[in-house]
A and B are shown apart, each in its own frame.
Chain A
Amino acid sequence: MAVNKVFASPDAAVADIFDGATIMIGGFGSFGGLPINLLTALSRQGAKNLTVISNAGGVGFELSDRIKPGGYPDVGILYEKGQVKKFIGSVPALGGMPPTAPIEMAFNEGKVEIEMVPQGTLAERIRAGAGGLGGFYSPTGVGTVAEKGKEKKVINGREYILELPLTADFALIKAHKADTLGNLVYRGTARCFNPVMATAAKTTIVEVDRIVQPGEIDPEAVVTPHIYIHRVVEVAE
C-alpha cells in the first residue's frame, strides 16, 4: 500500500476535522479505551458545532479524579470549550456524580442537544451504519421514553421498535497496537466501543500505545482489519 497512514502527532491527525462534523469517540466513557490524546488535540484544534456520538458525555477533569486518582481529560473537554451542538449516547451524565459535568452544565444552559440511546441500541445502530443496513427492530426500550416517535412492530408476538443506523465523518478511537497498515489489537476492557466505531466512519483515526511492522501482529489476533483504519498515531504510554 502506497498510502502512509502513520501520522506524526495527534494534532496532525485531527487537523482537518471541520465545523459541523459528526464524530464518534470510542471508549466506554472513563479512562480505559478513551482516545485521550486525539481528544485533547481536537480541543486545541477548535472545530465547532460538532455532533458527538460517544457512549458517555464524560465527567470532566475535576470529577475524573473520583474514577482514577489524579484525574484525566475526557470527552467533557469538548463541552467545556463549547465545541459540541449535539450528543448522541447512553450516559450523557452519571447519576452517581454531582451535576457539574461539563455536558450537564451545558445542557442545563440550553447549549447542547442530547439524544439518549440505550447502550446496546447505540452499539447496534453503529453496526447497522457500518454494515450498510437501513436499521433494525429492537425490544429494548419498549414502554419507555426510548420508544417515543419510533415505528413499533410486533414480531412473533413480541413488541419491537425501529432503530435507525448511525455513521460519522470521523471516528477517534484507541487501540493497544497497530501495524503500519492499520490492523489493530486492543487491551482488556479498553476495547468496548472502539472496534464498533472504527467500522462506521468515513475517516477513522486511531491512537495506539505502539506501532509495529506488518507481520508483527498475529493475523489470528487482529480485531479490527486495516481497511477500516485511515490514520494511526503512536502515543507514548
Chain B
Amino acid sequence: MKMRLDEQTIALRAAKEFQDGNVVNLGYGMPGLCANFIPEGRTIFFQSENGVLGYGELAPDEEKDYELINACDQPVTRQPGMCFFDSGISFDMIRGGHIDIVVLGAYQVSEKGDLANWGRPGRPATGMGGAMDLVIGAKRAIVTMMHTTKDGEPRIVKQCTYPLTARECVSTIFTDIAVIEVAPKGLVLKEIAPGWLSEEVQKLTEPKLIIAPDLHEIEL
C-alpha cells in the first residue's frame, strides 16, 4: 500500500541520524518533534538557541513550565546535567561550530542544497530567527518537510524562489515520501516511502534525481 509519512514519522526517521553524544538543535515546527524519538541507547544533548543545553522530552500538560521552553516555544522537561546560558553565548556555540546537527523545516531546498525556510510570498514580516546562524555554524544541516506544497508543487527545486537562509548548506532532506542526500554530483534518492516508485518521487521533484544503487524503503 502506498503511504505518505506523517510529521511524527518523518521526525522519527530524521532522529535516527543522531549519533551517540551529538549536540543537536531542532528548528521550529516538525523538527521539534525529533526530541521524542532519540534512538535507543544513544545520549543526545539538545541545544536550543534561546539558551539551554541538555533538555528532555516535550513536557506533558501537567508538567508545563513556561520558563523552560525550546526555541519553538514548547515547554520541555528537565534532565540531570542540563544548563542555561544567554543568547550571546548560545550563538557563540552555534557559529563557533559546537553543534553537530541542526534540523530545520523548509519552504524550498535547491539541488545544490540552498535553503529557503523563513520567508514566503504574502508574508513579508516573518523573520529568519536563528536559522541563518544555525545553518552556517552547525557541522551538518538536515531538513524535514513535506515533499510538495499543499497544491502539489515541488519544494525540492532547481533554484529557490523564496528568500534564502544560506547557500549550499543542506546535507540531507527527509520528506513524507523520500530521503534525499545533497551530494556534489546532485540529489541522490536514498530511501523511499512504502509503496512508492522512484519515478513517482521524481515527478514531484524538480531537479533530476540520482537513484542510489542501494535505494530502499525508508528505515523506521
Contact = CB atoms under 8 A, between A and B. Distances in A.
A186 interface: yes
B67 A188 contact: yes
B85 A119 contact: no
Interface stretch (A1-9, A11-19, A39-47, A138-146): A138-146
Contact of B123 (A32, A99, A196): A99
A235 B86 CA distance: 22
Given A120-B94, A123-B91, A196-B88, A94 B126 contact: yes
B66 A95 contact: no
Contacts of A61: none
A226 to B, nearest CB: 17
A91 B129 contact: yes
B132 A144 contact: yes
A32 B120 CA distance: 28
Sorting the interface of chain A by its residue count into under 10, 10 to 19, 20 to 34 or 35 or more gives 35 or more
Contacts of B65: 188
A103 interface: yes
- A90, A114, A127 — most chain B CB neighbours (10 Å): A90
Interface string B56-80: 0000000001111111010000000
Contacts of A228: none
B127 A123 contact: no
Interface string B37-52: 0000000000011111
Given A30-B69, A143-B167, A191-B85, A93 B126 contact: yes
Given A95-B126, A103-B125, A123-B90, A146 B84 contact: no
A114 B86 CA distance: 24
B125 A107 contact: yes
Contacts of A193: 86-87
Contact of B95 (A56, A89, A93, A139): A139
Interface stretch (B6-14, B158-166, B172-180): B158-166
A104 B125 contact: yes
Nearest to A30: B73
Given A57-B125, A144-B166, A119 B133 contact: yes
Contacts of B165: 144
A55 interface: yes
Contacts of B122: 99
Interface string A124-146: 10110000000000111111111
A119 B84 contact: no
Given A114-B125, A189-B52, A140 B84 contact: no
A103 B124 CA distance: 11
A73 B44 CA distance: 35
Contacts of B70: 189
A127 B86 CA distance: 11
B90 A108 contact: no
A89 B128 CA distance: 10
Contacts of B68: 32, 188-189
A120 B86 CA distance: 11
- B71, B127, B132, B136 — most chain A CB neighbours (10 Å): B127
B51 A120 contact: no
Contacts of A29: 73
22 contacts: A29-B73, A32-B68, A90-B127, A93-B126, A93-B127, A95-B118, A95-B119, A104-B125, A118-B128, A119-B87, A120-B137, A123-B86, A123-B87, A124-B91, A138-B95, A140-B132, A140-B133, A142-B167, A188-B65, A191-B85, A192-B86, A193-B87
Given A120-B95, A141-B132, 6 more contacts: A30-B66, A57-B125, A118-B132, A119-B87, A143-B164, A145-B163
Interface of A: 28-33, 55-57, 67-68, 89-96, 99, 101, 103-104, 107-108, 114, 116, 118-124, 126-127, 138-146, 186-196, 223
Closest 9 CB pairs of A and B: A120-B91, A120-B133, A119-B130, A188-B67, A95-B126, A118-B132, A91-B127, A93-B125, A123-B87
